[in-house]
Amino acid sequence: MCPYLRENITALEGYIPGEQPRNGAAIKLNTNENPYPPSPRVRKALRKATNRNLRLYPEPLSDSLRALAASAYGVAPENVLAGNGSDELLSILVRCFVGPGDRVAYPVPTYTLYDTLIAIQQGEKVTLDYLPDFSLPEMLYAQQSAVTFVCNPNSPSGTLVGRAELERLARSVAGILVVDEAYIDFAEGEGVSALPLIRDFANLVVLRSFSKSFSLAGLRIGLAFAAEEIIAGMMKVKDSYNLNRLSLVAACAALQDRAWMARNVARIQQSRKQLTKALTKMGFQVYPSQANFVMARRAGQNLKWLYEALRRRGILVRYFDALGLQDSFRISVGTPREVSVLLREIRAIEKEAKDGADKSHGAGPHRP
């Protein structure tokens, strides 16, 4: 134990990312990466940018990206802040608005990085259970919190809260409402994003990520959209040069080829439907996902044994060993081939477990 650390950091349980295998041999369906490559424009722009200018600092305010994003999403550049992934933007927001003892409210289960960021600032987290269908709990509207988080679509459930509900929440909360839209591009239908609401609500922040739909998880790019006053405050807190030159080049190129992204999204949506249908036939409860993953549940059964059996076969899914999630795992939507292999292996594992149970006169599979 280091005696120099702040007490809350010593006691902190840090955020644990999904497993990243080093050998590259696994079918990786555990961290919601896009199975398809980024636009060729991105790769071309990166090749061109890999030159002697890498010795120079990048744009301190990411002005080129902010201008393109403003044009793409129908806001002003002053309403946009670029970050080193949406995770950095979450960190900036918590540092801006949360001090010791300040309340931060959000429905759970959801993205657990929120817990870590609040603990670092010594804030007080107020977690409220989602309703069984993952609609917002009524008590969330009444919280007197400095910040309220809604991950939408939510992780790990993939479920979506409608814009009307988010508008009602923005009117109700006492402080800042952060709508974390890392997966919104995978949602079907019109009018699903909260982004247009920033014109009407000075307390609303909407986050976007290039990691998922734009296939740029390796370059760490995110955007925050909010009223000019909030963005100006966040600018004071961000690192001096928080996006590197290559990330800026890649993000700008990606925004200039959103048609490529949309085609990949359509492919993932199709695979998501097929995966959901197949898992449902296999006896899983699958929540209606609007993200690039699904959550599969067998109520009351601890699925760690199945997660581990898949892992031994070189297939990674995300298992959360936490109360309320132990009967579930989250599966990123891969290519059709990856989805097919996953389903085949689940069937094989469960058949082996059943055959073993039959041989031992109904003792059931060994589930560590």
DSSP character at residue 318: B
3-state helix, strand, coil in the chain (%, to 5): 45, 15, 45
pLDDT for position 367: 47
pLDDT for position 106: 98
pLDDT for position 14: 86
pLDDT for position 67: 98
pLDDT for position 172: 96
Q: ω into residue 336 within 30 of 0, thus cis? A: no
Pairing label, strands 147-151, 103-108: parallel
Report yes or no: 180 and 291 within 8 Å, Cβ to Cβ: no
pLDDT for position 151: 98
Cα distance between residue 341 and residue 344, in whole Å: 5
Radius of gyration, alpha carbons of the chain = 21
């289960």: which residue's tokens? Answer: 109
The residues with which 126 forms a beta bridge, in sequence order, are 105
Map out the domains of the chain as residue ranges: 7-34+259-359, 40-257
DSSP string, 240-304: TT-S-HHHHHHHHHHHTTHHHHHHHHHHHHHHHHHHHHHHHHTT-EE----SSEEEEE-TT--TH
Sequence-ordered strand ranges (E) for the chain: 27-28, 80-83, 103-108, 124-129, 147-151, 176-180, 204-209, 222-226, 285-286, 293-297, 315-316, 328-332
DSSP character at residue 356: H
């970050």: which residue's tokens? Answer: 83
Burial class (CB in 10 A: 0-12, 13-18, 19+), 26: middle
The residues with which 27 forms a beta bridge, in sequence order, are 315
pLDDT tens per residue across all 368 residues of the chain: 899 999 999 989 888 888 888 776 689 999 999 999 999 999 999 999 999 999 999 999 999 999 999 999 999 999 999 999 999 999 999 999 999 999 999 999 999 999 999 999 999 999 999 999 999 999 999 999 999 999 999 999 999 999 999 999 999 999 999 999 999 999 998 889 999 999 999 999 999 999 999 999 999 999 999 999 999 999 999 999 999 999 999 999 999 999 999 999 999 999 999 999 999 999 999 999 999 999 999 999 999 999 999 999 999 999 998 888 999 999 999 999 999 999 999 999 999 988 877 777 555 455 44
Tell me if 7-34+259-359 shares its fold with 40-257: no
**Within 36-107, where are the H helices?**
40-49, 63-73, 85-97
Please give the CATH topology (third level) of the domain spanning 7-34+259-359.
Aspartate Aminotransferase, domain 1 (3.90.1150)
Cα distance between residue 234 and residue 224, in whole Å: 10
Report yes or no: 171 and 199 within 8 Å, Cβ to Cβ: no
- pTM score, whole prediction: 0.94
What backbone phi and psi angles, to 5 degrees, belong to 297? -130, 145
Please give the CATH topology (third level) of the domain spanning 40-257.
Aspartate Aminotransferase; domain 2 (3.40.640)
Longest dimension (CA), the chain: 71
Cα distance between residue 168 and residue 242, in whole Å: 34
